[in-house]
């Protein structure tokens, strides 16, 4: 969950004002709020989500206790590659998440034959990631999807028009899956260098090297 802190602050002499923080994860907001409360000058704290719903410190603690055992703080890197000679596509996704106090990374790729372009492979890679998220039991959370395809990212964000029928079908399929799982998707464009893990997985899939792994990583 992404939140901002709204702080009603009071000086020693009784002057009061309200501060609002940048957005941050619920865990970070909780840590900062605890530190603010130690000053003794935070008269009131609220935590506001992107929908302007608010919760108290007590409610935030209860939420954090509840999500400890469930996957959360989810970020997905995706990439797709298309070989015009063989008409095969390689899909790759890397999912970072936290669960039971651990930071985990899931890597998955797939080789498919029914696609017709690199961009279509990019959409299919997102759908592959969604299937993995579903397997993990991830639902009703914000999820960042990060890729290096300007076309796909901007079309999913609704900033570019979509004229290709196949792309529209993939977008519909992705949005239906997101709605079913209750996921709030955010899309971010990065360079290929910053997306090298997913790119490598897609390339390995084209070479018929299957990768399915989950491991704990350092925070």
Domains of the chain (ranges, CATH numbers): 2-67 (no CATH), 72-217 (3.30.420.10)
- Residue 16 pLDDT: 84
Interatomic CA distance for residues 108 and 75, integer angstroms: 14
Range among 19-23, 66-70, 113-117, 121-125 with highest mean pLDDT value: 121-125
pLDDT at 69 over 90: no
pLDDT at 56 over 80: yes
- Give, as one character, the DSSP assignment of residue 73: E
- Give, as one character, the DSSP assignment of residue 154: H
Average pLDDT score over residue span 1-26:
85
- Give, as one character, the DSSP assignment of residue 160: S
Interatomic CA distance for residues 26 and 150, integer angstroms: 30
- Residue 47 pLDDT: 93
Tokens of 209: 């090297």
pLDDT at 82 over 90: yes
Q: What is the pTM of this model?
A: 0.80
């Amino acid at each position: 969950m992404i939140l901002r802190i709204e702080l009603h602050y009071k000086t020693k002499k009784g002057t009061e004002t309200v501060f609002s923080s940048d957005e941050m994860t619920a865990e970070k907001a909780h840590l900062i709020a605890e530190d603010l409360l130690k000053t003794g000058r935070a008269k009131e704290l609220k935590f506001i989500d992107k929908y302007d719903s608010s919760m108290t410190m007590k409610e935030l603690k209860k939420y954090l206790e509840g999500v400890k055992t469930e996957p959360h703080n989810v970020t997905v890197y995706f990439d797709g590659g298309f070989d015009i000679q063989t008409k095969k596509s390689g899909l790759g996704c890397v999912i970072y998440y936290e669960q039971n106090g651990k930071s985990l990374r899931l890597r998955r790729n797939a080789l498919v034959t029914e696609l017709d372009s690199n961009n279509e492979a990019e959409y299919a890679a997102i759908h592959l990631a969604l299937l993995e998220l579903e397997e993990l039991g991830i639902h009703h959370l914000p999820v960042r999807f990060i890729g290096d395809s300007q076309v796909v990212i901007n079309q999913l964000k609704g900033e570019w028009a979509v004229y290709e029928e196949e792309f529209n079908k993939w977008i519909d399929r992705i949005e239906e899956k997101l709605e079913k799982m209750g996921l709030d998707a955010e899309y971010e464009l990065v360079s290929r260098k910053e997306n090298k893990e997913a790119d490598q997985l897609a390339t390995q899939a084209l070479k018929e090297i299957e990768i399915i792994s989950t491991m704990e990583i350092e925070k």
